[in-house]
Amino acid sequence: MLDSWLSARSRTFSSSGIRKVFDLGAKLENPINLSIGQPDFDMPEEAHQGAIEAIKAGKSSYTPTQGAKLLIDRIQADVDAKYHDSDRKAFITSGTSGGLLLVALAFVNPGDEVIIFDPYFVMYEALMKMIGAVPVCINTYPDFKYDVQKVADAITPKTKMIIYNSPANPTGHVATREEVEGIAKLAAEKNVILVSDEIYRCFSNGEFYSPAQFNSQVIVLDGFSKSHGMPGWRVGYAHGPSEMIQNMLKFQQYTFVCAPHVGQLAALKALDADMSSHFEAYRQKRDMLIDGLSDLYDLGNPQGAFYMFPKAPWGTATQFVEKAITKYKLLVIPGNVFSRQDTNFRLSYASSVETIERGIDALRKLAKDPD
Protein backbone atom coordinates (compact mmCIF):
# COMPACT_ATOMS: atom_id res chain seq x y z
CA MET A 1 0.00 0.00 0.00
CA LEU A 2 1.27 3.46 -0.81
CA ASP A 3 1.05 5.90 2.04
CA SER A 4 -0.68 8.31 -0.34
CA TRP A 5 -3.53 5.80 -0.77
CA LEU A 6 -4.76 6.56 2.74
CA SER A 7 -7.61 9.02 3.00
CA ALA A 8 -7.11 12.12 5.10
CA ARG A 9 -9.83 10.77 7.41
CA SER A 10 -7.80 7.60 8.01
CA ARG A 11 -5.08 9.73 9.55
CA THR A 12 -7.38 11.44 12.02
CA PHE A 13 -7.61 8.62 14.56
CA SER A 14 -5.85 5.46 15.69
CA SER A 15 -7.07 2.30 17.41
CA SER A 16 -3.68 1.18 18.67
CA GLY A 17 -4.15 1.79 22.43
CA ILE A 18 -6.76 -0.88 23.02
CA ARG A 19 -5.15 -3.30 20.52
CA LYS A 20 -1.86 -3.13 22.43
CA VAL A 21 -3.56 -4.49 25.56
CA PHE A 22 -5.27 -7.25 23.59
CA ASP A 23 -1.98 -8.19 21.85
CA LEU A 24 -0.14 -8.34 25.17
CA GLY A 25 -3.00 -10.38 26.66
CA ALA A 26 -2.98 -12.90 23.82
CA LYS A 27 0.57 -13.89 24.81
CA LEU A 28 -0.33 -14.62 28.45
CA GLU A 29 -1.37 -17.98 29.81
CA ASN A 30 -4.49 -17.85 32.00
CA PRO A 31 -4.57 -14.04 32.32
CA ILE A 32 -6.89 -12.25 34.73
CA ASN A 33 -8.98 -10.60 32.08
CA LEU A 34 -10.88 -7.54 33.32
CA SER A 35 -10.69 -5.73 30.00
CA ILE A 36 -13.72 -7.14 28.21
CA GLY A 37 -16.30 -4.76 26.77
CA GLN A 38 -19.10 -7.28 26.30
CA PRO A 39 -21.24 -9.42 28.62
CA ASP A 40 -19.86 -12.79 29.72
CA PHE A 41 -23.33 -14.37 29.39
CA ASP A 42 -24.74 -15.77 26.16
CA MET A 43 -27.98 -14.64 24.53
CA PRO A 44 -31.04 -16.38 26.01
CA GLU A 45 -32.42 -19.71 24.84
CA GLU A 46 -35.40 -17.89 23.29
CA ALA A 47 -32.98 -16.04 20.99
CA HIS A 48 -31.20 -19.27 20.04
CA GLN A 49 -34.56 -20.72 19.02
CA GLY A 50 -35.51 -17.54 17.16
CA ALA A 51 -32.26 -17.65 15.19
CA ILE A 52 -32.57 -21.36 14.38
CA GLU A 53 -36.18 -20.97 13.23
CA ALA A 54 -35.24 -17.97 11.10
CA ILE A 55 -32.38 -19.86 9.44
CA LYS A 56 -34.60 -22.90 8.78
CA ALA A 57 -37.31 -20.66 7.35
CA GLY A 58 -34.76 -19.22 4.91
CA LYS A 59 -34.72 -15.71 6.33
CA SER A 60 -31.61 -14.84 4.37
CA SER A 61 -33.13 -11.96 2.47
CA TYR A 62 -32.81 -8.27 3.24
CA THR A 63 -35.40 -6.82 5.57
CA PRO A 64 -36.90 -3.41 4.77
CA THR A 65 -34.38 -0.62 5.49
CA GLN A 66 -36.15 0.21 8.75
CA GLY A 67 -36.07 -3.41 9.95
CA ALA A 68 -38.23 -6.53 10.25
CA LYS A 69 -41.82 -5.47 10.85
CA LEU A 70 -42.43 -7.71 13.87
CA LEU A 71 -39.38 -6.36 15.68
CA ILE A 72 -40.12 -2.72 14.89
CA ASP A 73 -43.75 -3.15 15.99
CA ARG A 74 -42.59 -4.59 19.30
CA ILE A 75 -40.06 -1.82 19.95
CA GLN A 76 -42.44 0.89 18.74
CA ALA A 77 -45.08 -0.37 21.20
CA ASP A 78 -42.57 -0.01 24.07
CA VAL A 79 -41.58 3.47 22.88
CA ASP A 80 -45.25 4.52 22.61
CA ALA A 81 -45.99 3.20 26.10
CA LYS A 82 -43.04 5.05 27.60
CA TYR A 83 -43.14 8.38 25.73
CA HIS A 84 -46.78 8.85 24.62
CA ASP A 85 -45.52 10.82 21.62
CA SER A 86 -47.09 9.94 18.26
CA ASP A 87 -44.18 11.58 16.42
CA ARG A 88 -41.51 9.38 18.09
CA LYS A 89 -40.60 6.64 15.60
CA ALA A 90 -38.30 3.62 15.97
CA PHE A 91 -36.20 1.67 13.48
CA ILE A 92 -33.64 -1.12 13.62
CA THR A 93 -29.93 -0.33 13.23
CA SER A 94 -26.84 -2.50 12.73
CA GLY A 95 -25.92 -2.33 16.39
CA THR A 96 -25.83 0.86 18.40
CA SER A 97 -22.59 1.64 16.55
CA GLY A 98 -24.59 1.63 13.33
CA GLY A 99 -26.99 4.15 14.84
CA LEU A 100 -24.08 6.36 15.87
CA LEU A 101 -22.69 6.39 12.34
CA LEU A 102 -26.13 7.30 10.95
CA VAL A 103 -26.60 10.26 13.31
CA ALA A 104 -23.14 11.47 12.41
CA LEU A 105 -23.81 11.21 8.68
CA ALA A 106 -27.29 12.68 8.83
CA PHE A 107 -26.67 15.66 11.09
CA VAL A 108 -23.02 16.64 11.52
CA ASN A 109 -21.05 18.76 9.04
CA PRO A 110 -17.27 19.00 8.80
CA GLY A 111 -16.16 21.69 11.22
CA ASP A 112 -19.19 21.33 13.49
CA GLU A 113 -18.46 21.00 17.19
CA VAL A 114 -19.81 17.94 18.99
CA ILE A 115 -19.74 17.82 22.78
CA ILE A 116 -18.69 14.56 24.42
CA PHE A 117 -17.94 13.77 28.05
CA ASP A 118 -14.35 12.83 28.92
CA PRO A 119 -13.77 9.93 29.67
CA TYR A 120 -15.78 8.81 26.63
CA PHE A 121 -16.65 5.63 24.73
CA VAL A 122 -13.79 5.31 22.22
CA MET A 123 -15.99 5.40 19.15
CA TYR A 124 -17.42 8.88 19.89
CA GLU A 125 -14.12 10.68 19.43
CA ALA A 126 -12.97 8.57 16.47
CA LEU A 127 -16.30 8.94 14.68
CA MET A 128 -16.32 12.70 15.01
CA LYS A 129 -12.79 12.94 13.66
CA MET A 130 -13.68 10.55 10.84
CA ILE A 131 -16.38 12.88 9.58
CA GLY A 132 -14.30 16.02 10.08
CA ALA A 133 -16.20 17.28 13.13
CA VAL A 134 -14.49 18.71 16.19
CA PRO A 135 -15.01 16.71 19.39
CA VAL A 136 -15.25 19.12 22.34
CA CYS A 137 -14.52 17.30 25.59
CA ILE A 138 -16.19 18.11 28.89
CA ASN A 139 -13.86 16.94 31.66
CA THR A 140 -15.86 14.95 34.23
CA TYR A 141 -13.03 13.90 36.57
CA PRO A 142 -12.89 13.00 39.43
CA ASP A 143 -16.50 11.90 40.10
CA PHE A 144 -17.58 11.59 36.42
CA LYS A 145 -20.82 13.49 36.99
CA TYR A 146 -22.31 15.47 34.11
CA ASP A 147 -22.13 19.15 35.08
CA VAL A 148 -24.82 21.05 33.17
CA GLN A 149 -23.06 24.38 33.69
CA LYS A 150 -19.87 23.02 32.08
CA VAL A 151 -21.92 21.91 29.08
CA ALA A 152 -23.61 25.31 28.85
CA ASP A 153 -20.19 27.01 28.95
CA ALA A 154 -18.89 24.75 26.13
CA ILE A 155 -21.72 25.58 23.72
CA THR A 156 -20.71 27.93 20.89
CA PRO A 157 -22.47 28.93 17.65
CA LYS A 158 -20.68 25.93 16.04
CA THR A 159 -22.07 23.35 18.48
CA LYS A 160 -24.26 20.90 16.59
CA MET A 161 -24.65 17.93 18.86
CA ILE A 162 -24.11 16.52 22.34
CA ILE A 163 -23.45 12.78 22.64
CA TYR A 164 -24.54 11.63 26.03
CA ASN A 165 -24.15 8.14 27.57
CA SER A 166 -25.56 6.91 30.87
CA PRO A 167 -24.93 4.34 32.35
CA ALA A 168 -21.51 5.20 31.03
CA ASN A 169 -18.63 3.39 29.43
CA PRO A 170 -15.90 3.54 30.80
CA THR A 171 -16.78 5.12 34.17
CA GLY A 172 -19.93 3.27 35.29
CA HIS A 173 -21.48 6.67 36.06
CA VAL A 174 -25.29 6.74 36.12
CA ALA A 175 -26.70 10.24 35.70
CA THR A 176 -29.24 11.44 38.26
CA ARG A 177 -32.59 12.84 37.21
CA GLU A 178 -31.22 16.33 37.83
CA GLU A 179 -28.25 15.79 35.46
CA VAL A 180 -30.41 14.19 32.74
CA GLU A 181 -33.15 16.80 32.89
CA GLY A 182 -30.59 19.62 33.00
CA ILE A 183 -28.80 18.47 29.86
CA ALA A 184 -32.05 17.66 28.03
CA LYS A 185 -33.49 21.13 28.72
CA LEU A 186 -30.22 22.89 27.92
CA ALA A 187 -30.09 21.15 24.50
CA ALA A 188 -33.70 22.20 23.82
CA GLU A 189 -33.02 25.80 24.84
CA LYS A 190 -29.86 26.04 22.69
CA ASN A 191 -31.29 24.12 19.68
CA VAL A 192 -28.51 21.56 19.89
CA ILE A 193 -29.14 17.92 18.87
CA LEU A 194 -28.92 15.57 21.83
CA VAL A 195 -28.07 11.91 21.15
CA SER A 196 -28.58 9.55 24.08
CA ASP A 197 -26.65 6.27 23.93
CA GLU A 198 -28.69 4.01 26.23
CA ILE A 199 -27.01 0.70 25.48
CA TYR A 200 -26.32 0.05 29.20
CA ARG A 201 -29.84 1.09 30.27
CA CYS A 202 -30.56 -2.29 31.90
CA PHE A 203 -27.32 -2.29 33.89
CA SER A 204 -28.08 0.32 36.49
CA ASN A 205 -28.20 0.33 40.23
CA GLY A 206 -30.50 3.32 40.40
CA GLU A 207 -33.51 4.48 38.47
CA PHE A 208 -32.90 5.06 34.76
CA TYR A 209 -33.95 8.37 33.15
CA SER A 210 -33.72 9.14 29.45
CA PRO A 211 -33.24 12.73 28.30
CA ALA A 212 -36.00 11.97 25.75
CA GLN A 213 -38.42 12.12 28.72
CA PHE A 214 -37.59 15.84 29.02
CA ASN A 215 -36.90 16.84 25.40
CA SER A 216 -38.97 15.40 22.54
CA GLN A 217 -36.20 16.07 19.97
CA VAL A 218 -33.70 13.66 21.54
CA ILE A 219 -32.43 10.76 19.40
CA VAL A 220 -32.16 7.59 21.51
CA LEU A 221 -29.78 4.81 20.48
CA ASP A 222 -30.10 1.41 22.10
CA GLY A 223 -29.44 -2.22 21.27
CA PHE A 224 -29.35 -5.87 22.16
CA SER A 225 -25.56 -6.34 22.38
CA LYS A 226 -25.25 -5.81 26.13
CA SER A 227 -28.77 -6.30 27.51
CA HIS A 228 -29.29 -9.65 25.77
CA GLY A 229 -25.71 -10.87 25.43
CA MET A 230 -25.67 -10.82 21.63
CA PRO A 231 -23.08 -8.28 20.41
CA GLY A 232 -22.02 -10.41 17.44
CA TRP A 233 -25.53 -10.38 15.98
CA ARG A 234 -25.36 -6.63 15.31
CA VAL A 235 -28.86 -5.54 16.24
CA GLY A 236 -29.65 -2.14 17.70
CA TYR A 237 -32.39 0.41 17.37
CA ALA A 238 -32.95 4.14 17.30
CA HIS A 239 -35.98 6.28 18.07
CA GLY A 240 -36.65 9.96 17.74
CA PRO A 241 -38.74 12.58 15.95
CA SER A 242 -40.03 11.11 12.68
CA GLU A 243 -38.35 13.67 10.43
CA MET A 244 -34.93 13.03 12.01
CA ILE A 245 -35.47 9.28 11.76
CA GLN A 246 -36.35 9.58 8.05
CA ASN A 247 -33.04 11.33 7.47
CA MET A 248 -31.13 8.60 9.30
CA LEU A 249 -32.93 5.93 7.24
CA LYS A 250 -31.74 7.57 4.05
CA PHE A 251 -28.17 6.85 5.13
CA GLN A 252 -28.99 3.33 6.32
CA GLN A 253 -30.34 2.57 2.85
CA TYR A 254 -27.01 3.38 1.22
CA THR A 255 -24.65 2.07 3.91
CA PHE A 256 -25.79 -0.89 6.02
CA VAL A 257 -28.93 -1.51 3.89
CA CYS A 258 -30.49 -3.21 6.93
CA ALA A 259 -29.46 -4.96 10.14
CA PRO A 260 -28.86 -8.74 9.76
CA HIS A 261 -32.20 -10.45 9.17
CA VAL A 262 -31.61 -13.57 11.31
CA GLY A 263 -30.20 -11.38 14.08
CA GLN A 264 -33.34 -9.25 14.07
CA LEU A 265 -35.54 -12.33 14.44
CA ALA A 266 -33.31 -13.66 17.23
CA ALA A 267 -33.60 -10.26 18.96
CA LEU A 268 -37.40 -10.37 18.64
CA LYS A 269 -37.46 -13.63 20.61
CA ALA A 270 -34.82 -12.35 23.05
CA LEU A 271 -37.39 -9.77 24.14
CA ASP A 272 -39.45 -12.62 25.64
CA ALA A 273 -36.60 -13.63 27.97
CA ASP A 274 -36.16 -12.46 31.55
CA MET A 275 -32.57 -11.21 31.78
CA SER A 276 -32.85 -9.76 35.28
CA SER A 277 -30.69 -12.42 36.98
CA HIS A 278 -27.76 -11.34 34.79
CA PHE A 279 -28.23 -7.69 35.73
CA GLU A 280 -28.38 -8.65 39.41
CA ALA A 281 -25.22 -10.79 39.07
CA TYR A 282 -23.35 -7.77 37.69
CA ARG A 283 -24.56 -5.61 40.57
CA GLN A 284 -23.08 -8.18 42.94
CA LYS A 285 -19.80 -8.27 41.03
CA ARG A 286 -19.59 -4.51 41.19
CA ASP A 287 -20.12 -4.68 44.97
CA MET A 288 -17.38 -7.31 45.28
CA LEU A 289 -14.94 -4.93 43.59
CA ILE A 290 -16.05 -1.95 45.68
CA ASP A 291 -15.67 -3.96 48.90
CA GLY A 292 -12.34 -5.39 47.79
CA LEU A 293 -10.69 -2.22 46.49
CA SER A 294 -12.11 0.99 47.85
CA ASP A 295 -9.63 1.28 50.73
CA LEU A 296 -6.76 1.36 48.21
CA TYR A 297 -8.33 2.88 45.07
CA ASP A 298 -10.42 5.91 44.22
CA LEU A 299 -13.17 4.19 42.20
CA GLY A 300 -15.45 7.16 41.52
CA ASN A 301 -19.04 6.14 42.12
CA PRO A 302 -19.73 3.29 39.69
CA GLN A 303 -23.46 2.62 39.65
CA GLY A 304 -23.99 1.01 36.27
CA ALA A 305 -22.85 -0.51 32.98
CA PHE A 306 -20.23 -3.13 33.90
CA TYR A 307 -17.22 -0.90 34.27
CA MET A 308 -15.41 1.21 36.77
CA PHE A 309 -12.61 3.67 36.16
CA PRO A 310 -10.27 3.73 39.17
CA LYS A 311 -7.40 6.16 39.53
CA ALA A 312 -3.98 4.51 39.23
CA PRO A 313 -2.49 4.78 42.74
CA TRP A 314 0.98 5.47 41.33
CA GLY A 315 2.53 6.43 37.99
CA THR A 316 0.64 7.17 34.82
CA ALA A 317 -2.17 4.81 33.88
CA THR A 318 -0.01 3.44 31.06
CA GLN A 319 2.87 2.63 33.46
CA PHE A 320 0.46 1.09 35.93
CA VAL A 321 -1.25 -1.06 33.28
CA GLU A 322 2.08 -2.20 31.82
CA LYS A 323 3.10 -3.57 35.21
CA ALA A 324 -0.38 -5.05 35.78
CA ILE A 325 -0.04 -7.03 32.56
CA THR A 326 3.62 -8.02 32.63
CA LYS A 327 4.01 -8.81 36.35
CA TYR A 328 0.48 -9.78 37.46
CA LYS A 329 -1.10 -11.05 34.20
CA LEU A 330 -3.94 -8.63 34.87
CA LEU A 331 -5.57 -7.16 31.77
CA VAL A 332 -7.14 -3.72 32.21
CA ILE A 333 -7.20 -0.76 29.81
CA PRO A 334 -5.22 2.45 30.36
CA GLY A 335 -7.38 5.55 30.63
CA ASN A 336 -5.72 7.45 27.80
CA VAL A 337 -7.60 5.17 25.38
CA PHE A 338 -10.84 6.81 26.62
CA SER A 339 -9.59 10.20 27.64
CA ARG A 340 -7.34 13.16 27.07
CA GLN A 341 -5.61 12.24 30.34
CA ASP A 342 -3.67 9.15 31.43
CA THR A 343 -4.51 8.86 35.11
CA ASN A 344 -7.15 6.13 35.44
CA PHE A 345 -7.78 2.66 34.05
CA ARG A 346 -10.89 0.77 33.00
CA LEU A 347 -11.91 -2.33 34.90
CA SER A 348 -14.68 -4.47 33.43
CA TYR A 349 -16.55 -6.84 35.69
CA ALA A 350 -18.20 -8.73 32.83
CA SER A 351 -16.28 -11.73 34.06
CA SER A 352 -16.57 -14.75 36.36
CA VAL A 353 -16.58 -14.40 40.16
CA GLU A 354 -13.34 -16.37 40.24
CA THR A 355 -11.64 -13.95 37.80
CA ILE A 356 -12.86 -10.98 39.81
CA GLU A 357 -11.45 -12.51 43.01
CA ARG A 358 -8.10 -13.02 41.32
CA GLY A 359 -8.32 -9.46 39.99
CA ILE A 360 -8.94 -7.99 43.44
CA ASP A 361 -5.97 -9.91 44.82
CA ALA A 362 -3.68 -8.69 42.01
CA LEU A 363 -4.89 -5.09 42.29
CA ARG A 364 -4.29 -5.05 46.05
CA LYS A 365 -0.70 -6.21 45.50
CA LEU A 366 -0.19 -3.76 42.63
CA ALA A 367 -1.32 -0.77 44.67
CA LYS A 368 1.54 -1.53 47.10
CA ASP A 369 4.08 -2.25 44.36
CA PRO A 370 4.95 1.10 42.75
CA ASP A 371 7.59 1.37 40.08
Q: Which residues contact ligand PMP by CB under 6 A? A: 37, 95-97, 121, 165, 169, 197, 199, 223, 225, 231, 236
Distances (CA, A) of 12 to 9, 96, 130, 339: 5, 22, 6, 16
Q: Which is nearer to ligand PMP, 346 or 358 (CB)?
A: 346
Q: How close are the terminal C-alpha atoms of the chain, in Å?
A: 41
Shortest approach of ligand PMP to residue 98 CB, angstroms? 7
Shortest approach of ligand PMP to residue 62 CB, angstroms? 20
Q: Which is nearer to ligand PMP, 179 or 197 (CB)?
A: 197
Contact 323, 26 (CB under 8 A): no
Instruction: Report the relative pairing of strands 159-165 and 333-334 from DSSP bridges.
Output: unpaired
Shortest approach of ligand PMP to residue 370 CB, angstroms? 31
Which of 6, 147, 165 is closest to 99 using CA atoms? 165
DSSP state of 34: -
Shortest approach of ligand PMP to residue 261 CB, angstroms? 17
Q: Which is nearer to ligand PMP, 236 or 358 (CB)?
A: 236
Shortest approach of ligand PMP to residue 366 CB, angstroms? 25
Which of 247, 302, 262, 273 is closest to 105 using CA atoms? 247
60, amino acid identity:
S
Q: Which is nearer to ligand PMP, 169 or 215 (CB)?
A: 169
Backbone angles phi, psi at 90, to 5 degrees: -110, 150
Q: Which is nearer to ligand PMP, 182 or 236 (CB)?
A: 236
Contact 183, 151 (CB under 8 A): yes
Q: How far apart are CA 210 and CA 221, in angstroms?
A: 11
Q: At what angle do helices 95-107 and 242-253 cross, to 10 degrees?
A: 110
Shortest approach of ligand PMP to residue 163 CB, angstroms? 9
**How many angstroms from the chain centroid is the CA of residue 277?**
21
DSSP state of 43: P
Q: Which is nearer to ligand PMP, 108 or 199 (CB)?
A: 199
Q: Which is nearer to ligand PMP, 187 or 350 (CB)?
A: 350
Which of 186, 169, 179, 167 is closest to 124 using CA atoms? 169
Q: How far apart are CA 311 and CA 16, in angstroms?
A: 22
Contact 332, 35 (CB under 8 A): yes
Provide CB contacts within 8 A for 137, sequence distance 6+: 116, 117, 118, 120, 340
Shortest approach of ligand PMP to residue 278 CB, angstroms? 16
Residue nearest to ligand PMP (CB): 95
Shortest approach of ligand PMP to residue 225 CB, angstroms? 3
DSSP state of 61: S
Count, residues in the chain? 371
Does the CA dihedral 311-316-318-323 come out positive or negative? negative
Q: Which is nearer to ligand PMP, 275 or 296 (CB)?
A: 275
Q: Which is nearer to ligand PMP, 215 or 348 (CB)?
A: 348
Shortest approach of ligand PMP to residue 105 CB, angstroms? 16
